[in-house]
Amino acid sequence: IVGGSFTPIESHPWVAAIFHKRYGFLCGGSLISPCWVLTAAHCFTDGENTKIPHLSVYLGKSAINDTDVDKEQQFFVEKLIIHQKYNDSNYDSDIALVKIKSRNATTHGGCAVRSPTVRTVCLPPLHTQLPAGFSCSIAGFGKEKFESPRFSQYLKQADVKLLSRAECTSGLQYGSRITDNMFCAGSPSWSTDACKGDSGGPLVCEASGRMFLFGVVSWGEGCGWMNKPGVYTQVTNYNKWIAAKTGLTKYTRG
């Protein structure tokens, strides 16, 4: 995250951190039900990354390199579902589901247990549309600057505003690279943005007193660059896909 501030996991308790045995921290994600994490498809397209036995998912984590056993929950991956229409050349349908399972074979049922550091985020009701200029927040362990060689050690969050489709598809910004399954968000001064490593993580917006997961961090040119906002997968386009793949019948959960 460029700009913004460090934040305890308690303020974004649905944030998941996905690690690879060999490559270390891979991507963010969001806990949408006790056994399911929503993330980005492009996190798993390096071929090697897709090997499920090499992946671990952490919930309740505030720092990439420190372990707080009282706050964290660790999982293996039971299933990885990459959207069947994911397009690796333009990042269309950049969305994936990770089913988590307990690392401890004797803990049956073993998915996420609700706590002050671990909680599910609501999925927005079908067809919800927020107006351009609406303020939302992003969170993740991604780089603090495009040029930085490493990810942020601690979880960060930042406020970003939704941009109109007209603005983001203008020639000045991304033109036709923005599909109907993407939207853009940034700050008016271009001082806050997602960056490498925030991919897969949440863009949440508050509506009627609850936080809803509207976007999955997907891509962008640089980080915090003028007229190059962050691009997010539009979660409301995938309510049915999520329901079909996870068997979750309710679109909104707390």
Q: Catalytic residue among 92, 94, 193, 198, which?
A: 94
203 binds ligand 4AZ per the rule CB under 6 A: no
223 binds ligand 4AZ per the rule CB under 6 A: yes
> Can you tell me whether residue 49 is helix, strand or coil?
helix
Residue 15 CB, shortest distance to ligand 4AZ, in Å, is 15
Half-sphere exposure of 203 (CA within 13 A, CB side): 33
Contacting residues for 209 by C-beta, under 8 A, at least 6 apart: none
User: Which range binds ligand 4AZ by CB under 6 A, 60-68, 103-111, 169-177, 195-203?
Assistant: 195-203
Size of residue set near ligand 4AZ by CB under 6 A? 11
Active site residue 198: no
Residue 219 CB, shortest distance to ligand 4AZ, in Å, is 5
Alpha helices of the chain — where are they, by DSSP H?
165-168, 239-246
Q: What is the per-residue burial (b if ≥16 Cβ within 10 Å, else e) of 186-215?
A: bbeebebbbbbbbbbbbbbbebeeebbbbb
Residue 98 CB, shortest distance to ligand 4AZ, in Å, is 17
Residue 199 CB, shortest distance to ligand 4AZ, in Å, is 4
144 binds ligand 4AZ per the rule CB under 6 A: no
Active site residue 42: yes
> 131: how many CB neighbours lie within 10 A of its CB?
7
The rounded distance, in Å, linking the Cα atoms of 154 and 194 is 14
Active site residue 193: no
Catalytic positions, written as ranges: 42, 94, 199
Q: Which stretches of the chain bind ligand 4AZ, using CB under 6 A?
A: 193-196, 198-199, 217, 219-220, 223, 230
